[in-house]
Amino acid sequence: MNNYYTLPLNVKRLIGSKSHEKGGLNESISHYLHLINTSYFGECTFDESFGCSIWIIDFDNLKSTKKLTSLIQDSLSDSIKIHEKRLSNVKVIVRMKQEEIVGVEEANRIKRKINITIKGKVIKTSEAFLYTEYFYIGPLSY
């Protein structure tokens, strides 16, 4: 059943009492996880715990890859358990590696690539849920 609005949200359509595209539960959960992943703590003034630590470590070159990976993984796990109530048995896997970004007009750059895999179970349907996403940090881009 498609009861969830899709992104990007078209506010003009909603205000104008026009119909807006709707998507399914899994799509809605995926969009919400992306929002958690790309928000920094304190960005949502109504809930300072919403977000994750990717922004905190965005330019951190002093910590080891293992420490940064663990920090991000723990932060995402905690945020998802607090904010995404439609999933149970959540497992977050974070992998980080150096990757060369080939520039067309500029020189090649080395950035850290963060691969995020989130597994869980959709409570409403008891279906397995899988979400994957990756980011480059220093500065964050996706």
pLDDT digit string, tens, across residues 35-79 = 999 888 888 888 888 988 887 776 666 567 788 889 889 999 999
Helix or strand run (H / E) with residue 34: helix 25-38
Tell me 24's DSSP state: -
Record the tokens describing residue 42, joined without a space.
């304190």
Written out in words, the top-level CATH class of the domain with range 40-137 is alpha beta
Other CB atoms within 10 Å distance of the CB of residue 93 = 14
Q: Is the pLDDT of residue 1 over 60?
A: no
Q: Are strands 87-101 and 22-23 parallel, antiparallel or unpaired?
A: unpaired
The answer to whether residues 122 and 26 touch, using CB atoms and an 8 Å cutoff, is: yes
Q: What is the dihedral of CA 6, 4, 24, 9, to 10 degrees?
A: 0
For β-strands 109-122 and 128-137, DSSP reports them as: antiparallel
Question: Which one has a higher pLDDT value, 62 or 127?
Answer: 127
Residue range 11-24: mean pLDDT, rounded: 81
Tokens of 32: 């919400």
